[in-house]
């Protein structure tokens, strides 16, 4: 028959319900931290993409103005 010392030894070997609850809490905290980090990077990537789109439009607009000026000055642009 098992006595108290044997039961205590077994408790050290097997996972208890409390251990699983603690693990779940740690995993949820870790997942939350990862999601916060991913959201931060996604926001930065979105901001970067928007800036690149705006820069592209600006370059297109400047190129259009340069072509108009070249036509008015009767210059041939080579590119």
Count of domains forming the chain: 1
For residue 79, give Cα distances in angstroms to 63, 67, 76.
12, 12, 10
Is 46 domain-assigned? yes
Is 3 domain-assigned? no
Q: Phi first, then psi: what are they for 38, rounded to 5°? A: -65, -40
Write the CB contacts of 70 (distance below 8 Å, at least 6 apart in sequence): 76, 77
Using an 8 Å Cβ cutoff, are 61 and 50 in contact? no
Using an 8 Å Cβ cutoff, are 66 and 78 in contact? no
Residues of the domain holding 29? 17-72
pLDDT at position 51 over 90: yes
Confidence of residue 2 (pLDDT cuts 50, 70, 90): confident
Rounded to whole angstroms, the Cα distance separating 45 from 41 reads 6
Whether the pTM exceeds 0.75: the reply is: no
Confidence of residue 40 (pLDDT cuts 50, 70, 90): very high
């Amino acid at each position: 028959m098992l006595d108290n010392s044997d039961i205590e030894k077994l408790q050290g070997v097997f996972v208890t319900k409390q251990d699983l609850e603690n693990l779940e809490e740690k995993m949820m905290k870790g997942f939350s931290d990862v999601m916060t980090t991913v959201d931060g990077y996604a926001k930065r990537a979105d901001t970067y993409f928007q800036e690149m789109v705006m820069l592209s439009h600006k370059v297109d607009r400047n190129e259009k103005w340069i072509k108009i000026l070249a036509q008015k000055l009767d210059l041939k642009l080579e590119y």
